[in-house]
Amino acid sequence: MRCPKCTSIEDKVIDSRIGREGSTIRRRRECLECGHRYTTTETHVRDGIVVLKRDGRREDFDRDKLVRAVRAACHKRPVDAEQIAMLIEDVLDALEARFESEIPSQAIGDGVMQRLRKIDQVAYVRFASVYKEFRDVTEFVDEISSLRRPASDLPEPS
């Protein structure tokens, strides 16, 4: 790890803690050359995941793309970065348990929507409006109406 102040690669770890969501490790480091202290975060790297798109194309999974989509849905909503990180980790853990190396994009979207619905209904509707590609206002109104029903009454995501 390079020191952000002097770019030296000589450092020592002075403290390690498991992140609140349990999927990261925070390490406090001290540069042995300049004495600057800084924090790094380690996370599980998910290699080799391919997303099967609706049109049949395949593309490498891009975690940043998923993070951007969820952040956009949660923009100016009372959803903090840690909740977003936990949501994404939960979705990915569930998908990796269910699928091998190829995951349908629909399963990713359904997993995000299912969790967003419980966290923030406005963020859920924002995400759903892009993900489900509503063709008209009626579909949008139907989706909002579904929020009045408990999540247990809704059909399981496919």
The HSE-up count of residue 6 (CA atoms within 13 Å, CB side) is 12
For the residues 7-19, what does the mean pLDDT come to? 91
Tell me the one-letter amino acid at 70: V
State pLDDT tens for residues 14-71. 999 887 656 678 899 999 999 999 999 887 766 678 999 989 999 999 888 999 999 9
Mean pLDDT (the chain, rounded): 86
Placement of tokens 């699928």 in the chain: 99
> How much is the pTM?
0.65
pLDDT over 90 for what percent of the chain? Answer: 51
Q: Smallest Cα–Cα separation from 16: which of 7, 28, 31? A: 28
State pLDDT tens for residues 145-157. 877 766 555 555 5
pLDDT of residue 8: 94
